[in-house]
Amino acid sequence: MLRELVIVEDDATLREELAYLFEEAGYNVHQALNLEGLLDILRLHPVRLLILDLNLPGVSGYEIAQQLRQTHPAIGIIMLTARSRTEDRVKGYGAGADIYLTKPADPVELTAAAASLGRRVLGERYTNDLTLNCLQGTLQAPDQPAVELTPAETLILRALALAPDATLDTGELMDLLEEKFPERSATRRSLENSISRIRGKATALLPEGANLIRSVRGLGYQLGLPIQLVD
């Protein structure tokens, strides 16, 4: 089961009720009331399921779904809204919803929909994906021994895996390293050395000619292969 789930709902009472429902069902629940809060969560957690209201302050749920389909295409989206007209449903599916439910939704149906969507999202993952265990600091390919990583190397891979388009600029990576490891000097050269070491360690896990981390001219770095996260 996909355990990481985020609820985007500006009604605090309903958001808390939904959070309790899904926590009881075994999910790790994150809460946001708008797009900005959602993006903060997605930068830090490997979320694959989203419960999304439509009437939100600032950017609407429709616009959020459209944006996520570009930046996080693998995420499963359940729209939960009071809008019940057919044209609203059609617009919701057109914006990127996988499931469209109207309020008040039956709790049993809602959790069943999330479980079904979670299985579908899992089924669409690449069977040959690498797995990054962030707690153990290891990178592993199916049926191969795990490769050990340093905490800094683990942080770099995790940040890239969570980033939109799996891409981060050099400055963002250096800021993350400096924030997490303030005792170290986060320089461009030290980042390049860390990237080089990751590439070397990953060589044994990759198909011939594959590159785990690509350099993006004028920007930074991008993952060349999907990585699944275990937090």
Residue 114, amino acid: A
Residue 196: pLDDT over 90: yes
Q: Is the pLDDT of residue 194 over 50?
A: yes
Say which residue the tokens 């989203």 belong to.
50
Rounded mean pLDDT, 26-55: 88
**Given phi > 0 = left and psi -120 to 50 = alpha, else beta, which region is 58?**
left
CB count in 10 Å sphere of residue 16: 13
Length of the chain: 231
- Predicted pLDDT of residue 205: 84
Structure tokens at 163: 């980033």
DSSP β-bridge partners for residue 180 = none
Q: So what's the pLDDT on residue 123?
A: 56
Sheet containing 76-81: order of strands? 28-32, 4-8, 49-52, 76-81, 99-102
- pLDDT exceeds 90 at position 151: yes
> What residue ranges define each of the domains in the chain, with the CATH number in brackets?
4-123 (3.40.50.2300), 130-230 (1.10.10.10)
Q: In what helix (H) or strand (E) does residue 18 lie, and over which residues does it extend?
A: helix 12-24
For residue range 63-89, list pLDDT tens digits in order: 999 988 887 877 889 999 888 889 988
> Is the model's pLDDT at 132 over the cut of 50?
yes
Query: Per residue in 139-148, pLDDT tens?
Result: 988 778 889 9
Question: Among 68-72, 187-191, 204-208, whose mean pLDDT is lowest?
Answer: 204-208
